[in-house]
Amino acid sequence: MKKLIGATAALLMGGATMAYAQTQIEGGTEADMVLLPKFLGILVFDQANEGAQEAHAELENPGELQFVGPTPENSVAGQIELMTTATTQGVAAVMLSNNAGDQIAPAASAAQEAGTRVVTWDSPIPGGEGEDIFVAQVDFGSIGVVMADMAHSILDGSGQMAVLSATPDAANQNAWIASMEEALASDEKYADIELVDIVYGDDQSEVSYNRALALVDQYPDLGLIMSPTTVGIQAAAKAMQDEGLCDDTKVSGLGLPAEMVSYTMNGCAPEFALWDFRDLGYLTYYTAYGLATGQLTGEIGESFTAGRMGDYTIEEDPGREGAKRVLMGPFTVYNSENVEAAAQ
């Protein structure tokens, strides 16, 4: 009995030490922060900014939180330029949704050398160079499984599917598509689902719309268009609806409930998934602020509490060797039962 109590006490103490290692991110310290999205004017990035502003206010950071981004036609060069500007301004942390591939790595490394912390979110620096931590919205591997599962349920186990992605060099979309292909290959139940093509709509409505139509022309038996981008999924759904093809070819992928509600209710896009971009901005801010103020060292295994969202641990990124990530997760699958409530 005594032994048991001793063991319990040891456990409790162990628990206490672990709780001690759990860093509670505290506010009040001044740190200038920059939130740098792929480009300005897209709803999800503004939602991320709302989340970051919420965290900024909550932590009572006397410093400034700037939301700056390039214009859409100048995304890659603009991001690199803004990264360099932030470095010369000597801001404490840059929060980057990378659209420049590894091209931004030199600018990001220079920022780190100047003492600026670089936290990526939404889309990482593929090689991991120049990046402290990536705040992953969901596990990139699990996105693949969720997309494969949605395909399985929509196609009822067998049929042809094609992918309509954003740009050919978008790091996040490419990783998700790769993980979906892996998921499709790994399980017997997906054996009858055939991925026939991958096309790119450049995250522009008109290009995505025309690509979706080209897909159904090319593959008369196509049962599903999977689009892991909010612009593509909506354009594809509209194209199928306009041409009266919704009965033959369904649309799925990652979409915003407010934009997808009508297509989900009329059956063109019976199922799709997404995470909360406000939460992503909020968690990214906490992570970056913790690093910038020295409360976090950014080591693997370090745990911290990010305000209302609870506890997170810095871990190795399974998709990118040598890179570190904080995993937000999970995400929601929307269908005709829950989409209307979420669209409000």
**Footprint of another protein (CB under 8 A):** 39-43, 45-47, 49, 71-73, 168, 198-200, 203-206, 209-211, 213-215, 217-218, 220, 231, 234-235, 238, 242-243, 258-259, 261-262
3-state class (DSSP) for residue 165? strand
By beta-carbon proximity to another protein, the closer residue of 112 and 262 is 262
Please state the closest distance from residue 217 (CB atom) to another protein, in A. Answer: 6
Which strands form 222-227's sheet, in the order they lie side by side?
193-200, 159-165, 222-227, 250-253
Please state the closest distance from residue 7 (CB atom) to another protein, in A. Answer: 55
Distance CA 229, CA 164 (A): 8
Whole-angstrom Cα Rg for the chain: 22
Distance CA 124, CA 259 (A): 26
Please state the closest distance from residue 331 (CB atom) to another protein, in A. Answer: 21
Cβ contact 218:244 at 8 Å: no
Please state the closest distance from residue 163 (CB atom) to another protein, in A. Answer: 11
By beta-carbon proximity to another protein, the closer residue of 67 and 134 is 67
Position of tokens 């672990």? 18
Distance CA 77, CA 317 (A): 27
By beta-carbon proximity to another protein, the closer residue of 238 and 325 is 238
By beta-carbon proximity to another protein, the closer residue of 190 and 275 is 275
Please state the closest distance from residue 288 (CB atom) to another protein, in A. Answer: 21
Reference 193, options 156, 229, 220, 165; nearest CA is 156
DSSP assignment of 26-88 equals: ---S---EEEE-SSSS-HHHHHHHHHHHHHHHHTT-SS-EEE----GGGHHHHHHHHHHHHHH
Please state the closest distance from residue 233 (CB atom) to another protein, in A. Answer: 10
By beta-carbon proximity to another protein, the closer residue of 45 and 312 is 45
Please state the closest distance from residue 297 (CB atom) to another protein, in A. Answer: 34
Cβ contact 138:329 at 8 Å: yes
DSSP secondary structure code for residue 184 in this structure: H
By beta-carbon proximity to another protein, the closer residue of 168 and 318 is 168
Quote the tokens at residue 325.
């990530």
Please state the closest distance from residue 237 (CB atom) to another protein, in A. Answer: 9
By beta-carbon proximity to another protein, the closer residue of 240 and 292 is 240
Distance CA 227, CA 253 (A): 5
Contacts of 319 (CB under 8 A, 6+ apart): 140, 141, 175, 179
By beta-carbon proximity to another protein, the closer residue of 187 and 242 is 242
Please state the closest distance from residue 72 (CB atom) to another protein, in A. Answer: 4
By beta-carbon proximity to another protein, the closer residue of 35 and 108 is 35
Phi-psi region of 22 (alpha: psi -120 to 50; beta: other; left: phi over 0): beta
